[in-house]
């Protein structure tokens, strides 16, 4: 009986020592599986600062072979999350030339392949600025054609004038570079409006 009791006492003490040892020093195998370690690789993130976004309206035009261009640019500016894009209802009675012309301020043009505005004498035309201001628009974008050149005219509604006219020669719609050229035009329009470049023409590559 004494031998059995002595054996039981030794066994209990051995178990206590083992528990204390495991608690004080966890196995390296468990430490290696810690998923809370920070990966030092490449990280991509977005810092979103909510605020009031300026309103933008695409002027209601069609034809000139630019319907696809207008749709793409409107989508790029909407996806940029920099504007509140105002959609006019179909068949709306709003027309471009419904008031007298307004003075022009800060006009200029940007040539194809360049981000540097060139001086120019753009005229505001007959845009009804008070009407679009009542709709909540800060900017109005008009996409037109002048010969073989596409002109993106950005109107500053509050100033009742043309902010900038961006002129580019786009490839044919069937060309491989057509869509990328239209995305670049959208980026130039965003730059003219807010002073910061857009990301519509950005290309991402994955290296694995």
For the stretch 146-171, pLDDT in tens is: 999 999 999 999 999 999 999 999 99
Q: What is the pLDDT of residue 61?
A: 85
Which domain, by its residues, includes 134?
A: 55-194
Q: How many folded domains does the chain comprise?
A: 2
| CA nearest to 80, candidates 157, 188, 154, 159 | 188
Inter-CA distances, 43 with 38, 105, 201, Å: 11, 43, 21
For the stretch 38-84, pLDDT in tens is: 666 777 776 666 668 999 999 988 888 899 999 999 999 999 999 99
For the stretch 8-42, pLDDT in tens is: 555 656 666 665 555 555 555 555 555 666 666 77
Alpha helices in the chain (DSSP H): 2-24, 28-32, 67-79, 129-134, 178-194
The reply to whether 82 and 144 lie within a common domain is: yes
Maximum C-alpha span of the chain? 115
Domain membership flag for residue 61: yes
The answer to whether the CB of 152 falls within 8 A of the CB of 122 is: no
Domain membership flag for residue 158: yes
Question: What's the CA gap between 142 and 161, in Å, rounded?
Answer: 13
Residue that is written with structure tokens 């006009």 in the block: 107
Q: What is the pLDDT averaged over residues 95-102?
A: 44
């Amino acid at each position: 009986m004494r031998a059995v009791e002595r054996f039981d006492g030794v066994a209990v003490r051995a178990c206590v020592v083992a528990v204390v040892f495991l608690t004080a020093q966890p196995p390296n195998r468990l430490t290696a599986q810690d998923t809370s370690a920070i990966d030092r690789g490449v990280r991509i993130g977005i810092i979103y600062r909510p605020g009031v976004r300026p309103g933008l309206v695409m002027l209601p035009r069609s034809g000139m072979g630019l319907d696809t261009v207008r749709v793409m640019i409107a989508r790029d500016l909407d996806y940029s999350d920099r504007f509140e894009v105002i959609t006019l209802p179909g068949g709306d009675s709003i027309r471009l030339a419904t008031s007298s012309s307004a003075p022009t301020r800060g006009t200029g043009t940007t040539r194809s392949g360049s981000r540097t505005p060139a001086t120019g004498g753009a005229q505001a035309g007959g845009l009804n600025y008070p009407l679009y201001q009542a709709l909540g628009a800060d900017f109005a974008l008009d996409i037109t054609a002048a010969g073989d050149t596409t002109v993106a005219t950005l109107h500053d509604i509050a100033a009742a004038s043309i902010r900038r006219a961006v002129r580019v020669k786009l490839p044919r719609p069937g060309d491989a570079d057509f869509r990328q050229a239209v995305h670049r035009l959208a980026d130039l329009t965003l730059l003219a409006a807010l002073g910061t470049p857009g990301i519509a023409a950005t290309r991402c590559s994955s290296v694995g």
